Chain A
Amino acid sequence: MVDDSTRKTLSCIPLLKTKAGPREKDLWVQRLKEEYQALIQYVQNNKTADNDWFRLESNEQGTRWFGKCWYIHNLLKYEFDVEFDIPVTYPATAPEIALPELDGKTAKMYRGGKICLTDHFKPLWARNVPKFGIAHAMALGLGPWLAVEIPDLIEKGVIQYKEKSDV
């Protein structure tokens, strides 16, 4: 259900400990620290493996996240804005990651550019509450989605390469 490389990537992201959502004032700060620790570790893993593919940051409360993700296809870098809210029921429900600029360009999306995840994502997330966090959602959700959808969208001519100043 999850391919070996994703499984390996996942196993290198530290698991989280605190089960708390954004409505629980004090515990949420603890959870947020763990989220950042896991994300920092994941991004560093990616850099080490020469597979750096996203940056994220949040508002002060950690309830709204935004940043960039990119995908290299035929040596060209395609970059997209990424954003999502932390739902009040987090971490029982995963964040719904969105790429707003691709909204309406692919059927594998819900309104607002929320990516359509595979049937495996939700069961896997549910089995790993509260250990999985934002880093896991990126590795398990957005990463595989980009790998399948972006080459297809480029091939169909739906997205074109844009010269961009380096991040």
Chain B
Amino acid sequence: MSVEGLKAKIKQLEEELAVQKSINAQNAPAREKIAQMSSEVVDSNPYSRLMALKRMGIVDNYERIRELSVAVVGVGGVGSVTAEMLTRCGIGKLVLFDYDKVELANMNRLFFQPHQAGLSKVAAAAYTLRDINPDVEIETHNYNITTIENFNHFMERIQKGSLSGGPVDLVLSCVDNFEARMAINTACNELNQIWFESGVAENAVSGHIQLIIPGETACFACAPPLVVASNIDEKTLKREGVCAASLPTTMGIVAGFLVQNTLKFLLKFGQTTHYLGYSALTDFFPTMQLKPNPACDDSFCLERQKEFAAKPKPEVVEVSPVVEEVVHEDNEWGISLVDETPADAVEVTQSKPVGLAHGVDVAYELPAAESGSSGPTVQDTDISLEQLMAQMKKI
């Protein structure tokens, strides 16, 4: 081998060694814990750019973030990035829930790395997050929150998981299925816990975040799931052979929206959105406010609605936006817009929440109460459950 060849080989090996050393360094935290956030602008201060938000007058009291606790439910494409952002922001404590393992099929998304394949998502995430910022306390739970044996524990951690042993300051739902969202909704309605719902569509080109304040804004059970119009004809969407597509971009954007609004909510600056949608194909971002459904199926939602109605409301000064009417100076050809919606397409159903923004719709509509399938129902029986179980086994 020539001298040049050997030099090139040495350079390559040195680079490989550097990477390996950095991996080994993960065994020990890269820096010591920092007791107090400093606003000193030096290269070694990981919080200097965050504390600059105070000096610029954006946030009044940034250090307060160190006292705050957030639960992240679902540590996948959105949840892991959410947890990383909050960790880099210096959040006091994160409580992570997920029952899944890291797989190579996750590598089209951010955060997890190929060498973590096979580890539980919460364990792998805790490892990386502690390395990024050892000041953040991280609690992990590797289980499915929707099952009866885990749900009570999940509720207990929401209620007592903060740094001070009280309820967490906010719950962030970053799960990918309806069942888990409903479980979070049930828990938060019962505990009167404010939470953010987030989601990315299975076609990867739309997403949303939604703030749920029990009793004050629509809960997740108040209406069928909301979808942001992706401007794709659903009939042309090929679902043959696949369940879900995903993009790191859409998930990163939704995680960004989620954490941005989490920071605004927790540190009390700017306006926290009640609903923010995202359609990737048209760069469309609908926002809206949704009132709770007085006929919601969740009894705790109704209870919270009653409590909210009884609470004195702060005076809100309504600033109505000025809607400018489009007037064309001349209209030589007599062109005007015609509503092309066929009359039969406009169908008023009870399940559509009032105040839906243009471009946001319910995933499906529900009939008025007491309909759906009709037919014979099960007969009342004196046979005991044990006997029925035995009968089923015998068939």
- Per the bound structure, the CA–CA distance linking A108 and B242 in Å amounts to 5
Of A7-15, A73-81, A158-166, which stretch is located at the interface? A7-15
Q: Please judge, given known A-B contacts A55-B395, A89-B183, whether A15 and B375 are in contact too, CB under 8 Å.
A: yes
Is A15 in contact with B377, judged by CB distance below 8 angstroms? Answer: yes
Is A89 in contact with B179, judged by CB distance below 8 angstroms? Answer: yes
Q: Which residues of B are in contact with A by a Cβ distance under 8 Å?
A: 100, 144, 146-149, 151, 177-179, 182-183, 185-186, 221, 224, 239, 241-244, 297, 363-367, 371-379, 381, 383, 385, 388-389, 391-393, 395
Is B146 in contact with A88, judged by CB distance below 8 angstroms? Answer: yes
Is B224 in contact with A17, judged by CB distance below 8 angstroms? Answer: no
Q: Please judge, given known A-B contacts A55-B395, A56-B392, whether A14 and B376 are in contact too, CB under 8 Å.
A: yes
Main secondary structure of the interface of B (DSSP, over half): loop
Is B224 in contact with A126, judged by CB distance below 8 angstroms? Answer: yes
Q: Is A86 an interface residue (CB 8 A)?
A: yes
Q: Is A105 an interface residue (CB 8 A)?
A: no
0/1 string, A139-156, CB within 8 A of B gives 1: 000000000000000000
Is A85 in contact with B378, judged by CB distance below 8 angstroms? Answer: no
- Per the bound structure, the CA–CA distance linking A10 and B100 in Å amounts to 34
Q: Which residues of A are in contact with B by a Cβ distance under 8 Å?
A: 10-11, 14-17, 22-23, 29, 32-34, 36-41, 43-44, 47, 55-58, 61-63, 85-89, 92-93, 96, 107-111, 116, 119, 122-123, 126-129, 131-132
Partner of B243 from the list A23, A56, A108 (CB cut-off 8 Å) is A108
- The list of the 7 closest CB pairs from A to B, nearest first, reads A123-B364, A36-B388, A116-B243, A89-B182, A87-B146, A128-B372, A88-B151
- Per the bound structure, the CA–CA distance linking A78 and B375 in Å amounts to 33
Cβ contacts under 8 Å, A44 to chain B: 395
Other 20 A-B pairs with CB < 8 A, given A10-B373, A57-B392, A85-B146: A11-B373, A11-B375, A15-B375, A33-B383, A33-B385, A36-B391, A37-B378, A43-B395, A55-B395, A85-B148, A87-B146, A87-B179, A87-B182, A88-B183, A92-B182, A110-B243, A116-B243, A122-B178, A122-B363, A123-B365
